[in-house]
Structure 1
Amino acid sequence: MRLYLTALNPTDAVLEGVLPAAAALGLSATVLTDRPAEWPSDVPVVRCAVRDPSAVVAATAPTRPVALLSNSDHLQEVTAIAARKLGLPGKDPDAARLCKDKAAARRAIAAAGLDLVRTVTIDPGVAPEVPVGMFPAVVKPREGVASEDAYLVADHRELVARVTEIRGRRPDVALVVEEYLAGELRTFETLGDGTTLASLGGWRTNLGPPPTFTEQSLDWSPPAEPVSTRLRARLDALGVGFGACHTEYVISDGRVRLIEVNYRLIGDRMDLILAELLGVPLFEHVIRLHLGEPLAALSLPTAVDRYAQVEYVCADTSGRLVTAPGRLDTVHGDVRLGCRPLRAVGRVAEHTGTNRDYLAVLHAIGPDHATVRHSLAAFRSDLQWTIVE
């Protein structure tokens, strides 16, 4: 039985999550990608125009697949269309499109009477025109990923400067300008089988200084039931309900305000950390849903009696990374600690103020907040990263 996975560049989620999970389930796995040269030689890869649903369907022709899925933000809609053509369980293509298109998602939420966020779309080559009353605002790609090219702007002058900057790198990208939603950034992680949606919990996210929105650390903080209910209503309005989904939101003046919905697992190694925290084979669960199994067949925790904290080590300057710790796993009392490199020693990179500056991710899982924080601080103090300009 063969599983197909659509992907672009290799990621830890695929290499350390999805592929080992497929093997554990007794499935052969093949990666369909338009970048085969970037993948490790031991990964079965087939070259494919993965942004074309017909090409994805054709690539599976040699072997009738039992499942087709993706963990890429960019490929959810294409993969959903291809899965439907193949008669396989999958996400609703319209829901995948809505989640990717931030302006369309805002319209769907507003049409459901759940929330209205003032939003203006700026097409490529068009000068930005935004009402003065919308500032401060956030400008970002309409179909962007995470915090890449997302900036806080105080007025029209700053907006024009940021639009010009982004277009200098990506001239063909459509942008959105949204009113800034103040509040503590949080996440909501879910799994669904198309009928039932389960909450896995969530994180409280600490951001770096504006104008960018770089995640610097996350603390385990599942939403209270009333908040979870309101978030589910917003996901319902988008048609979200199958497989994994990562939702970002704030609570402002008692209101749940959606930031964005990423119709896949949480990223930047948080998916692997979440699996460890929950003590469940999370990636196997995702695959089993795509095999058509019901959510009730999965072993999901009803409560988590552990606490977790995650910290990203960020470069504060441009240059070459010359020294850094490697992959580490250790135990300090009742706390499990880990370090995973995100940038290779010897690599030269520009400082961007975004998650492209990540050097490593550290995490700690233990019995309570205070114990975990103390252990992670001690762990980090013994590690060193050196960049030479």
Structure 2
Amino acid sequence: MRLYLTALNPTDAVLEGFLPAADALGLPATVLTDRPGQWPAGVPVRQCAVRDPAAIIAATAAEPPAALLSNSDHLQEATAVAARKLGLPGKDPEAARRCKDKAVMRRTLAAAGLDPVRAVTVDPGTTPVVPADVFPAVLKPRDGVASEDAYLVTDRRELAARVTAIRRRRPEVALVVEEYLAGELRTYDTLGDGESLAVLGGWRTGLGPPPTFTEVSLDWAPPPGDHDARIRVLLDALGVGFGACHTEYVVRPDGIRLIEVNDRLIGDRMDLILTDLLGVPLFADVIRLHLGEPLAALARPGPAAPGRHARVEYVCADRSGRLTAAPGPVDTVRDGVRLSCRPMREVGRVAERTGTNRDYLAALHGIGPDPDIVRAALTAFRDGLSWTIT
């Protein structure tokens, strides 16, 4: 019996999280991917058209799967369909689709009388027809991820310009225009077995300047009870409840408003940092849920249990060009704070600045006893590092 992971390009979550976790569980693992040449030598990969459930099923025929899962936004629905046909524990395919398709998510919640947000879908080749009172608005791909091509637009002129620019590069993409929900941005991270849901914790997110929505920092901030109760109602309406899920929401004077639901672990190395902060085998726990173990079998600390604070800061490229100098991995301790730097772009690579997390050069984080101490130690740590783009 074997664990199969569907994936596109290589990610830290798979390479540093799921594959070592499978090995620790004594479970052979294979990555099914349509991009086998991009994966490092030695990683057990198999060519597969991973957006096609039938192809996923065929790729597992040689050795029966003990579990099948994905940590990719793009592959949750196809993987869920394949798992269901194979009789394996997995996500609800319809719930996975509701989370991925932002227009469907909004319609589902509105139909349930929950969290109505004015939103308009813009199909490929069509002209946006957006009421004036929707602005300021957020334009984003209907099936988008990682803030790619997400922009704040203040009027129809800006909207038309952004749509035109996106379509020059991606003429086939469907877009959504929805009212801008200003407020304090937070995350809500969970594990579930289809019957019960456990909150791992949450983060308070800092964004870079508009019109893009690049996450530049996150501070550990477990959701208070009223946030927890409200978000569970929203997730229930979407059918979310199995495996890992990462939800983003804002806190406003009119209450909790949902931004998006990502039916996977939190990304951009935050999953690895969360594992360190909580002191739990998070990736192994996700695998165990997909093996059919109940949530109650996992030793879960409460979100407030660590008794420590964590802060994460991303170093972002401020221009297009070649990264010519950068620190490698660094681990150190300052004033009782464990500090870490992990590169997210290799030296020598040329890249365009995008205004998304694709601009990340490195992830820095600190874990310590107090928010102020952690922030000060992380600032001093960052000041001692440098990145050069030419």
Query: What TM-score does the superposition give when structure 2 sets the normalisation length?
Result: 0.99
1:193-208 alignment, distance < 5 Å: 193-208=193-208
Question: Is 1:282 aligned with 2:269?
Answer: no
**Equivalent residue, structure 2, for 1:346:** 348
What is the rounded CA distance, in whole Å, between the counterparts of 2:306 and 2:180 in structure 1?
A: 33
**Equivalent residue, structure 2, for 1:41:** 41
- Residue aligned with 1:185, SS: strand
- Residue aligned with 2:332, SS: strand
How far is the alpha carbon of 1:243 from its aligned partner? Answer: 0.3
Is the 2:326–2:388 contact (alpha carbons within 8 Å) kept by the matching residues of 1?
Answer: yes
Structure 1: 5+ residue runs without aligned partners? Answer: none
**Equivalent residue, structure 2, for 1:367:** 369
Q: Which deviates more, 134-143 or 344-353?
A: 344-353
User: Percent identity over the alignment?
Assistant: 74
Is the 2:216–2:313 contact (alpha carbons within 8 Å) kept by the matching residues of 1?
Answer: yes
Q: Which ranges of 4 or more aligned residues in structure 1 deviate by more than 6 Å? A: none
- Residue aligned with 1:375, SS: helix
1:1-389 alignment, distance < 5 Å: 1-302=1-302, 303-388=305-390
What is the rounded CA distance, in whole Å, between the counterparts of 1:234 and 1:102 in structure 2?
A: 14
Q: Which deviates more, 92-101 or 103-112?
A: 103-112
How far is the alpha carbon of 1:356 from its aligned partner? Answer: 1.4
Superimposed CA distance per residue, residues 121-159 of structure 1 (whole angstroms, 9 cap, x where no aligned partner)? 000000111000100000000000020100000000000
Q: Which deviates more, 255-264 or 299-308?
A: 299-308
Amino acid at match of 2:11: T
- Residue aligned with 1:41, SS: coil
- Residue aligned with 1:244, SS: strand
Is the 2:141–2:175 contact (alpha carbons within 8 Å) kept by the matching residues of 1?
Answer: yes
What is the rounded CA distance, in whole Å, between the counterparts of 2:160 and 2:300 in structure 1?
A: 47
Superimposed CA distance per residue, residues 286-337 of structure 1 (whole angstroms, 9 cap, x where no aligned partner)? 0000000000111111222110000000111111111100011112232111
What is the rounded CA distance, in whole Å, between the counterparts of 2:308 and 2:276 in structure 1?
A: 11
Structural RMSD (CA): 0.7
How far is the alpha carbon of 1:355 from its aligned partner? Answer: 1.4
Is the 2:312–2:366 contact (alpha carbons within 8 Å) kept by the matching residues of 1?
Answer: yes
What is the rounded CA distance, in whole Å, between the counterparts of 1:112 and 1:351 in structure 2?
A: 40
- Residue aligned with 1:300, SS: coil
Is the 2:335–2:373 contact (alpha carbons within 8 Å) kept by the matching residues of 1?
Answer: no
How far is the alpha carbon of 1:340 from its aligned partner? Answer: 0.4
Amino acid at match of 2:94: D
- Residue aligned with 2:229, SS: helix
Residue-pair matches, total = 388
What is the rounded CA distance, in whole Å, between the counterparts of 1:284 and 1:309 in structure 2?
A: 24
What is the rounded CA distance, in whole Å, between the counterparts of 2:61 and 2:11 in structure 1?
A: 25
Structure 2: 5+ residue runs without aligned partners? Answer: none
How far is the alpha carbon of 1:351 from its aligned partner? Answer: 1.6
What is the rounded CA distance, in whole Å, between the counterparts of 1:44 and 1:216 in structure 2?
A: 33
